[in-house]
Amino acid sequence: MNFLVITTIQSPTPALFKYRDLLLELGWRIVVVGDQKSPPTFDLPGVDYLNLEKQQELFGELASLVPLNHYARKNLGYLYAIQKGAEAIAESDDDNIPYDDKYPNFLPPQINTSVLEVKDTVNVYSYFTEKKIWPRGIPLDKVGNLVSEEQIVKKEVTCYLQQGLADLDPDVDAIYRLTTAQGDVIFDSDKKLALGSGCYSPFNTQNTLFYKEAFPLMLLPISVHSRVTDIWRSYIAQKLLWCMDSSVLFLSPSVYQQRNEHNLLKDFKDEIPLYTQVNDLINLLETFNSDTISPGALMSELYSFLRQHNFIGDLDVRLCDLWIKAISSYL
């Protein structure tokens, strides 16, 4: 069974109603994760809603470790889906609305597709549009690293992790929004691109799917701000996918974003680690090696490695230990 996991601090939004109407007919289940700011009641029939009390009841210490009012509470929704027997878990946000005729457009994990073979960090948005735009979390000195057709080959690959883009108001950083944004963006349709080993590009949690084999890689770290956690996860997951002989696949949009209101200067401040530390993370990941292909063991080894180099703290290592233990008991 497939699951969709979403967090919200609002009453049911138009996006949530649309996901419900589309996915329940396809046999999916939907999990909505609440937080401290969420309304006391959440009326969306057919959806599993996890309030704070339910999260604590189900996951104990792990739920206690995740800060309140933090995007990483989504981890508890992932665990709930895994506990209930998920084979694949998609995720989105409450302001990303699925297209009736496109969502979901995720593909089977084994496919023949275009693969970008370059050892560098690339601006993957450039494959889907000619507009000057870049994804949140790319190193600023790599914004101009555009996808080149000469570096693309067609071959069979395994993609346990797939990221669909979002139209209209896609996921970009505050610098782009403050300096470059020029209205709605519509990406090219019906395109897909996998990134070969050593080719990095950040991905988010807005239109993303993990197959069962990659469930341990879903963990969102708690030692960083909510606007950083999914980007750190994306780079960590890419490195570990290569250890598993897998890749991340980027897809043309099947959703469009009508973005919730944001204070862009606050976003900029919260995103500072993305501008100043992302190259450090990538450089560290490039020095990590392991003899295992087990995703759980890889996560434990890499989190310990990042702690040894003072990139994450003890709480994240403890969170990872509890996370892997919980997943191992469910699968």
| The pLDDT of residue 89 | 98
| Percentage, residues of the chain above pLDDT 70 | 100
pLDDT at 261 over 90: no
Average pLDDT over the chain reads 96
Do 154 and 14 have their domain in common? Answer: no
First to last CA, the chain: 14
Q: How far apart are CA 304 and CA 309, in angstroms?
A: 9
| The pLDDT of residue 183 | 87
pTM: 0.97
**125 within some domain:** yes
Q: Which of 46, 75, 98 is the last residue of a domain?
A: 98
**Model confidence over 142-200: pLDDT tens digits?**
999 999 999 999 999 999 999 999 999 999 999 999 999 888 999 999 999 999 999 99
Do 124 and 61 have their domain in common? Answer: no
| The pLDDT of residue 161 | 98
Q: How far apart are CA 325 and CA 127, in angstroms?
A: 39
| The pLDDT of residue 330 | 92
Q: For the beta carbon of residue 284, count every other beta carbon within 10 angstroms.
A: 17
Do 250 and 178 have their domain in common? Answer: yes
| The pLDDT of residue 305 | 98
Region 102-122: what's the mean pLDDT?
A: 97
Do 255 and 168 have their domain in common? Answer: yes
Do 197 and 298 have their domain in common? Answer: yes
| The pLDDT of residue 259 | 83
Do 286 and 248 have their domain in common? Answer: yes
pLDDT at 50 over 90: yes
Region 220-249: what's the mean pLDDT?
A: 97
Q: For the beta carbon of residue 149, count every other beta carbon within 10 angstroms.
A: 8
**Model confidence over 282-296: pLDDT tens digits?**
999 999 999 999 999
Q: Which of 82, 98, 114 is the last residue of a domain?
A: 98
Do 1 and 62 have their domain in common? Answer: yes
Task: Quote helix, strand, coil % in the chain, to nearest 5.
Answer: 40, 20, 40
**236 within some domain:** yes
Question: What is the length of the chain?
Answer: 331
**41 within some domain:** yes
**Model confidence over 270-327: pLDDT tens digits?**
999 999 999 999 999 999 999 999 999 999 999 999 999 999 999 999 999 999 999 9
Do 11 and 145 have their domain in common? Answer: no
pLDDT at 331 over 90: no
Q: Determine the structural domain holding residue 36 and report its residue range.
A: 1-98
Do 156 and 194 have their domain in common? Answer: yes
Do 115 and 63 have their domain in common? Answer: no
CATH number for the domain that contains residue 45: 3.40.50
Joined together, the tokens standing for residue 210 give 């993990």
| The pLDDT of residue 25 | 94
| The pLDDT of residue 100 | 94
pLDDT at 39 over 90: no
Do 169 and 266 have their domain in common? Answer: yes
Looking at residue 183, what DSSP letter applies? S
Cβ density class 286-319: b for 16+ within 10 Å, e for less: eebeeeeeebbebbbbbbebbbeeebbeeebbeb
**208 within some domain:** no
User: How many separate domains does the chain show?
Assistant: 2
Q: Which of 36, 69, 98 is the last residue of a domain?
A: 98
| The pLDDT of residue 8 | 93
**88 within some domain:** yes
| The pLDDT of residue 232 | 98
Do 38 and 159 have their domain in common? Answer: no
